[in-house]
C-alpha cells in the first residue's frame, strides 16, 4: 500500500519564468489500487500535471510538493522516478532510430533490476510475445525501431505494451484514447484493466467519457485553469458528457 500526494502544486515552464503558472495549486491524493480519471478542456494543465509528476525537465515546481509515502520526489530526476514506479504513457512518444522496440523494453526492465539479476532473455521474449498478442500487435513490431514510422494508433498500443511489460506502480496515462478506433480502444482498455490490483494505481487523462466506459475509474476529477475544480465518482464523467465543461466554475485565480 502506497500513497501519492500532490499538495498545493504550482508549476511553470522552466524556459518561461516570466509567464504565469500553468498549475495554480493542485491537490490530489491517489492510493494504491485506485484508478483516477482527470478530465477537463484542453490547455488547462492536465498534461502539465502528468509531465510534472513524471519529472519532465521542461517544467519547474514553484510551490507545493509531490510526496510518495511522505517522501518528496520533486528534486528526483525522471529516470529515478521511473525506477521508483512512475510511468507516463505519452501523447506524443519520441521516435528513436537504431534502437529496436524489444531491445528498449528489455533495457527498461533491466534498469529496475540489479546487475546480477537481469531478466533472462527467453523469459523476456515469452512475456513480450504474450503481451503483444494480447494487444493484437503484429510480431514484427518488436524488431522495428522504437516508434519509428509507427502510426498514431500503433504508438498508443506501444505505450500500453511498455506499461504492461514494465508493470509500474503509478501509471499516468495521457490521452491514450486519442486517435484510436473503438476496437483498438477496447484492446488498450483491456490492457490497462489487466494491470488493476493492490500494487497498481493510475491517473488517466482524457477528454471523453468513452474511455471511461471501458476503464471504470474510482474517482473522477475535473481540471480547469490549473486547478481541480470538481471531484466525484464515476457518475461525474457521465454528467460531464451531457453538460460539457462550460457551466463549471472557472478557477478563481488571476493570471
Which residues form the interface with another protein (CB under 8 A)? 54-57, 77-79, 82-83, 87-88, 90, 93-99, 104, 107-108, 111-112, 145, 162, 166
Which grid coordinates belong to 29? 491524493
> Please, what is the minimum distance in Å from the beta carbon of residue 83 to another protein?
5
Kindly tell me which of 55 and 217 has the beta carbon lying closer to another protein.
55
Kindly tell me which of 12 and 227 has the beta carbon lying closer to another protein.
12
> Please, what is the minimum distance in Å from the beta carbon of residue 147 to another protein?
8
Kindly tell me which of 92 and 183 has the beta carbon lying closer to another protein.
92
Give the residue among 193, 176, 194 at the shortest CA–CA distance from 185. Answer: 176
> Please, what is the minimum distance in Å from the beta carbon of residue 115 to another protein?
12
How far is residue 51's CA from residue 168's CA, in Å, rounded to a whole number?
16
Residue 160, SS3 per DSSP:
helix
Give the residue among 192, 190, 186, 146 at the shortest CA–CA distance from 173. Answer: 192
Radius of gyration (C-alpha) of the chain in whole angstroms: 18
How far is residue 174's CA from residue 58's CA, in Å, rounded to a whole number?
17
Kindly tell me which of 68 and 212 has the beta carbon lying closer to another protein.
68
Kindly tell me which of 150 and 237 has the beta carbon lying closer to another protein.
150
> Please, what is the minimum distance in Å from the beta carbon of residue 186 to another protein?
25
> Please, what is the minimum distance in Å from the beta carbon of residue 88 to another protein?
6
Which sign, positive or negative, has the C-alpha torsion 157, 194, 82, 10?
Answer: positive
Amino acid at each position: 500500500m502506497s500513497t501519492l500526494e500532490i499538495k498545493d502544486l504550482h508549476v511553470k515552464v522552466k524556459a518561461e519564468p516570466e509567464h504565469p503558472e500553468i498549475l495554480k495549486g493542485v491537490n490530489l491524493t491517489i492510493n494504491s489500487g485506485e484508478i483516477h480519471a482527470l478530465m477537463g478542456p484542453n490547455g488547462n494543465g492536465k498534461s502539465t500535471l502528468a509531465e510534472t509528476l513524471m519529472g519532465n525537465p521542461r517544467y519547474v515546481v514553484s510551490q507545493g510538493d509531490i510526496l510518495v509515502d511522505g517522501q518528496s520526489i520533486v528534486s528526483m530526476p525522471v529516470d529515478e522516478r521511473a525506477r521508483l514506479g512512475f510511468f507516463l504513457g505519452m501523447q506524443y512518444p519520441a521516435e528513436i532510430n537504431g534502437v529496436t522496440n524489444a531491445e528498449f523494453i528489455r533495457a527498461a526492465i533491466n534498469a529496475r533490476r540489479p546487475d546480477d539479476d537481469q531478466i533472462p532473455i527467453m523469459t523476456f521474449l515469452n512475456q513480450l510475445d504474450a503481451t503483444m498478442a494480447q494487444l493484437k500487435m503484429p510480431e514484427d513490431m518488436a524488431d522495428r525501431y522504437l516508434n519509428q514510422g509507427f502510426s498514431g494508433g500503433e504508438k498508443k498500443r506501444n505505450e500500453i505494451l511498455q506499461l504492461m511489460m514494465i508493470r509500474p506502480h503509478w501509471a499516468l496515462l495521457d490521452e491514450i484514447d486519442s486517435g484510436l478506433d473503438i476496437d483498438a480502444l477496447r484492446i488498450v482498455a483491456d490492457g490497462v484493466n489487466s494491470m488493476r490490483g493492490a500494487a497498481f494505481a493510475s491517473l488517466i487523462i482524457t477528454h471523453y467519457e468513452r474511455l471511461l466506459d471501458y476503464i471504470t475509474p474510482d474517482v473522477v476529477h475535473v481540471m480547469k485553469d490549473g486547478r481541480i475544480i470538481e471531484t466525484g465518482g464515476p457518475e461525474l464523467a457521465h454528467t460531464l458528457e451531457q453538460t460539457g465543461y462550460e457551466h463549471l466554475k472557472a478557477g478563481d485565480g488571476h493570471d
